[in-house]
Chains A and B, each alone.
Chain A
Amino acid sequence: MKKLLSNWITQALLFLIVLGLTAYVSQVINDVLPPYVLTIGLFIGINLIMALGLNLITGVTGQLSIGHAAFMSIGAYASAIATVNYHIPFLLGVLIGGLVAGFVGIIIGFPTLRLTGDYLAIATLGFAEIVRVVFTNLKITNGAIGFLGIEGSTTFPIVMTIAVLTVCAMVWLENSRNGRAMLAIREDEVASSAVGINTTLYKIQAFAIGSVCAGVGGALFAHTTTFIQPTDFGFLKSVDILSIVVLGGLGSIPGTIIGAIVLTAAPEVLRPLANYRMMVYGILLIVIMIFRPYGLMGGVNLRQAVRRALMWPRKKQAGRGE
């Protein structure tokens, strides 16, 4: 079984089956659930795609970035310009959004990734603010008034399929040579460069892939809301995405999924509290951090946990008292 799974043809087949199944199931769900729930599900998917990208940068490679919304906005505007001004099909527009964001990520990555820790964080924050101000003043983005008339082509099945695709890609990446190099950089940059890992290359790789995810998320976002303006992508948006990653548990893909679900749904679930909603949300962040400083799934190895849960009764029978 293990040997079979490591065969790339089997992997590819499995991947295609999962993808097809997702498309089918989400289509069925799309027909059943009410639009309100679907919209929440849609935003969970979009946030998940972007958070997985940030998880690769911050969680796996350990480079703190608090300007993720900048790449989201680049993807959103690029795809909106592509579909509205140049009449490019929607899915191609999403791809363009992702690629443009990734390209900018590489350009920004070269100088800024020489910085470490908090300095990198503040540089990415500064970059995000610059991008926002530039979008506010450009003609093609229609400035502060906002970009109107985008077609609402994003649907629940599309978002879910792309989200599952991203999850699969991230799992595959983490188990690859590149992913291990990224993990090594997070654990100790000096040591990993000493054993011959090209740290700059892998950091930029992580940054670029993360930016592509943000760009795709932004493109989907633009085609959901049909109207985007620079203030949609401010500092608080970056914070939203970062809180998903940190709350779920840095570097943990299941954690990121849970984080995306909890934090996207929380403001909606808290809606009955009306005006106290954001206050409760703030307190929620503090309380979770105090009681689970490494995130909800931080330090939990899911594979091990599942195995242990299955093994538990047998272990007891064997009488191995620990």
Chain B
Amino acid sequence: MNNLMQQLINGLALGSIYALIALGYTMVYGIIGMINFAYGEIYMFGAYSGLVLALSNYVNVYVALLGATLITMVLGVVIERIAYKPLRRSSRLSALISAIGVSIFLSSLMVRLKGPNTRGFPKLFENKIFQIGSFQITIYQIVIIGVAGLLMLGLHLFINYSKTGRAMRACSQDQDAAKLMGVNVDRVVSITFAIGSGLAGAAGVLAGIYFNAVQPYMGLMAGLKAFAAAVLGGIGSVPGAMIGGLMIGMAEILGVTVNLSQYKDAFAFTILILVLLFKPSGIMGRKVNKKV
């Protein structure tokens, strides 16, 4: 039982990272209906930006986090403008291939810039272990869960209570109608990309601190799992992405607990397929009836 509680905390930390990336997928899908496969690479870019900032000695963890978030926000908007905007009216598949092109470009660019090897993350603060009752929690986990929780809360407030958030919700319901009501759709899409990429960048820094490893191809698996999380929660739904991310993280850790760690990577996808078969729209997704 204690062990289970302990693993749940580990799962929560891992799941928070997945949830942050999944939010980007789900927001973009909700608004322009495309799968931005390059999010995994944006996450990787965030991790490297955090690494570079952290190595410069002058900054503490929060500055590194903020800096990486800003850099990836700009990156996300630039990618959207160059690679996705010209394709917004064409088929979904061409946008998907373009996104794959972006992701190949970004990861090979990073190999060029920083080399293909795995790099450690400098200690931004001392790790402490707190003993609460019979289980323990590290300060890293507290920071990760705390930062992720704050970001998600902020996002929730932003989407539901700000004017831009209302515009975003309007665009996701009906882009043409939103345009008629005077919403600047291009701007909303850019903001969506900026927010999603910023969250992925922050997740990258958190993952760098947590796993103490950063490498150019780390984005692929993380991105795929986060995408699975977004679909699991119901793609297009923001709370769904959070729930999906946490579930995938928990499932992975529980799989390790029951001694199936070599099948770790398969867990996320097995759960995903099972959920899709029984509830194809995901946990929180709305069911869309097809009209003829």
Of the listed stretches A3-11, A28-36, A154-162, A272-280, name the one at the interface; the rest are far from the partner chain. Answer: A272-280
Please judge, given known A-B contacts A125-B224, A278-B108, A293-B87, whether A243 and B266 are in contact too, CB under 8 Å: no
The A contact surface, by secondary structure, is helix
Residue A201, interface by CB 8 Å = no
Among B101, B112, B228, B290, the one with the most A-chain Cβ atoms within 10 Å of its Cβ is B101
Q: Of A246, A250, A284, which is in contact with the most chain B CB atoms at under 10 Å from its CB?
A: A246
Query: Does residue B210 face the partner (Cβ distance < 8 Å to A)?
Result: no
Q: Is the CB of A293 within 8 A of B273?
A: no
- Give chain B residues whose Cβ lies under 8 Å from the Cβ of A12: none
Tell whether, in the assembled complex, residue A285 and residue B292 are in contact, meaning their CB atoms are under 8 Å apart.
no
- Inter-chain contact count A-B, CB under 8 Å? 130
A64 CA to B37 CA, complexed, in Å? 15
Please name all residues of chain B whose beta carbon is closer than 8 Å to the beta carbon of A136 when the two chains form the complex. 262
Asked if A284 contacts B101 (CB within 8 A), the reply is yes
A129-B224, A294-B90 known; A279-B97 Cβ under 8 A: no
With a CB–CB cut-off of 8 A, which chain A residues contact B228? 122, 126
B93-127, CB < 8 A from A: 93-98, 100-109, 111-112
Complex CA distance for A141 and B102, rounded to whole angstroms: 34
Count, chain B residues at interface, CB 8 A = 47
Tell me which residues across on chain B come within 8 A of A134, comparing CB atoms: 263, 266
Q: Which residues of A contact B91 (CB under 8 A)?
A: 293-294
Say whether A16 faces chain B, with CB atoms less than 8 Å apart. Answer: no
Contact indicator B235/A118 (Cβ below 8 Å): yes
Using CB atoms, name the residue of chain A closest to B106. A282
Question: Inside 8 A of A294's CB, which chain B residues have their CB?
Answer: 90-91, 94
**With known contacts A64-B93, A136-B262, A235-B224, A123–B112 Cβ distance under 8 A:** no
Give Cα distance in the complex from A235 to B223, angstroms: 12
Could you say which of A127, A129, A133, A286 contacts B101, with CB atoms under 8 Å apart?
A286
Interface 1/0 per residue, A213-234 and B, CB below 8 Å: 0000000000000000000000
Nearest-CB distance from B218 to chain A (Å)? 14
Please, which residues of chain B bring their CB within 8 A of the CB of A191? 292
Chain A residues within 8 Å of B93, by CB: 58, 64, 246, 250
> In whole angstroms, how far apart are the Cα atoms of A132 and B29 in the complex?
27
Q: Point out residues on A near B: beta carbons under 8 Å.
A: 58, 64, 111-112, 114-115, 117-119, 121-123, 125-127, 129-130, 132-134, 136-137, 188, 190-191, 194, 235-236, 239, 242-243, 246-247, 250, 275-279, 281-286, 289-290, 293-295
Q: 21 A-B contacts, Cβ less than 8 Å apart?
A: A112-B273, A115-B276, A115-B277, A115-B280, A118-B231, A119-B231, A122-B276, A126-B228, A126-B268, A126-B270, A130-B266, A133-B265, A134-B266, A136-B262, A246-B97, A276-B112, A277-B108, A285-B104, A289-B87, A289-B94, A294-B90
